[in-house]
Amino acid sequence: MKRTRRIQAAFLTAMLAASSMTVLAEETSKLADGDVTLTIFCDFQSGARAYYTDLGDNPVVQKIEEETGINLEFIHAPAGDDGSYFQQLLASGELPDLMFTNLFQTNYPGGVEGAIEDGILYDVTELVEEHATNFWALCEQSEDPEIEKKIRGDQGKIIKFGSIFLPETNNNKIFNGLIVRQDWLDKYGLEAPVTIDDYTNVLRVFKENGVEYPLALCQFEQSQFYANNPIASAFDVTINDFNVDEEGNIHYSRTEDGYKEFLEVLKGWADEGLIDTGMVSRTIDDSLKLFESGQAGMCFAHTYNVKMATVAGPAVDPEFKLTSLVHPRVNEDDELHLSKITSSINSQSWQVSAMCEDPELAVKFVDYLMDPDTLLMSAWGTNEGVETYVVNEEGVREFSDFVVNNPDGLDYDTVRDLYMCEPFQIKYDNTMEASQYSLEECHQSWDAWMTANDMDHVLPVNLTLTVDESKEVTQIKTKLANYSDEMVYNFIFGGEDLETGWDGFVEQLKDLGSERAEEIYKAAYDRYQARGEE
């Protein structure tokens, strides 16, 4: 695959800088002599909160301090924080040296570039191009032809330094979709549904045979649900967002004719009792509990949920068997374009604050976290003091008995939170991820959900709005949601008549600014497409 010239140039610069170092190989990770402290704002695993004061108590972090010669101090948001702590942190004016978060991209007006202009963040572009050897290696390894568009903003600044890189197992996969009771399909002589009509038939048969919730849908506000747009994507619309067409034009889905067709399907299912009003407050986890308990025949799930359900379901019903379904479509050979496909460059990134006294050291430290040995340690633990992993006869790492059958009775997730360091894991380890998703049912979910399904009509997650654009779009989207969220449910469950009320609904959305928001996103989309052009 062709590599961009800018990536090659930056990679070569960083490699030359690394090769000119005169320190001994075994000392190359030393960045200081124990006389420097970096403060860091990042996640703190829930399982560790009951045992550690902060991430600094983690043995991986302590080993990193030893190897780098840097003292690390941590700032964490409280458990259950909704993002308010981050806003308070910015307002305080007392910023840590480093911040690993997605909140600059998702919540800050103008994103990372806006924060740089406001004097909140340091522009690390030159430092990353000069010193970040491991980062550029990961960019090269990703073989992503649009990597430059994803790591740089509209002004050419590097805005995604140290995002979460994905290994082969996880990359370019769709991780969410619909699952069904395969044993019930077999029992009633049904084929796995593909088209909307197929789905309707299966749900009717479930209903006729006493299934309480033929399809246990969740509320539209669930992020994984609206990111993957099951059912809605059959009509080339998103559940509650803007999308782009083949010509690069932007549309607010709830004003499109396809959205009315989507609502007509759900209204028909609601009228027949195939979906229920409980969906308006139901989470994905709630739906899964109904599915695993035998109350629901179909629900929305993540590949990891598929894995867990293969254990939870048979505990209730020994005949339990599930399968993942292709996203429903109008015609069997239709191609869909609105599901989220995982990508190495996502909303998470490391940022150096403008208050950092030594931004070069901060950049070098983050790049150290991307060293292959450090990545392994973050994923598997230090293996010092307690054995967290072993190497099997095939030479493959596996978690030790201490992790999977903890002698102190700690559950698996808590042990991982205590002895591994997920907040520092800038690239997931492929061996570990492959073992997490080794079940045939997990692989089948990817095959099903990716069938004739891509994200060509999804707005690029890495496009950015200016400060003024961000403020205006936020105001418009708030008004659109406040009006349309409830109206959509009313259309489905009969509170509003879809046939007589649709045109007025669309006009009201336009009056609230949907067309203006389309213009703003169009400008941002065009800037994104122009990134890297020389």
Q: Are 437 and 424 in contact (CB under 8 A)?
A: no
Contact 451, 326 (CB under 8 A): yes
- Residue 445's nearest CA partner among 95, 125, 174, 228 is 174
Q: Which domains does the chain have, with CATH numbers?
A: 5-167+345-381 (3.40.190.10), 176-340+455-530 (3.40.190.10)
Among the listed residues 229, 208, 212, the one whose alpha carbon sits nearest the alpha carbon of residue 220: 229
Report the distance separating Cα 474 and Cα 174, nearest Å.
28
Q: How far apart are CA 229 and CA 93, in angstroms?
A: 40
Instruction: Quote the CA–CA distance of 454 and 257 in Å, as a whole number.
Output: 21
Q: What are the two backbone dihedrals, phi and then psi, of residue 64, each rounded to the nearest 5 degrees? A: -65, -40
What is this structure's pTM? 0.89
Task: List beta partners, residue 101.
Answer: 349
The full DSSP string for 321-343 is -EEE-PPPBSSTT--B--S----
CA of residue 516 relative to chain centroid, distance: 28
Task: Return the beta strands (E) in 236-287 as ranges.
Answer: 242-244, 250-252
How far is CA 407 from each of CA 129, 379, 383, 412, rounded to the nearest angstrom? Answer: 47, 21, 16, 11
Residue stretches of the chain with pLDDT short of 50: 1-4, 16, 18-27
Taking every pair of C-alpha atoms in the chain, what is the biggest distance, in angstroms?
Answer: 77
Exposure of 197 by Cβ count < 10 A (0-12 exposed, 13-18 middle, 19+ buried)?
middle
Could you tell me if 204 and 274 are in contact, meaning their C-beta atoms sit under 8 angstroms apart?
yes
pLDDT tens-digit series, residues 179-226: 999 999 999 999 999 999 999 999 999 999 999 999 999 999 999 999
The amino acid occupying position 488 is V
CB within 8 Å of 59: residues ≥ 6 apart: 381, 382, 384, 385, 419
First to last CA, the chain: 20
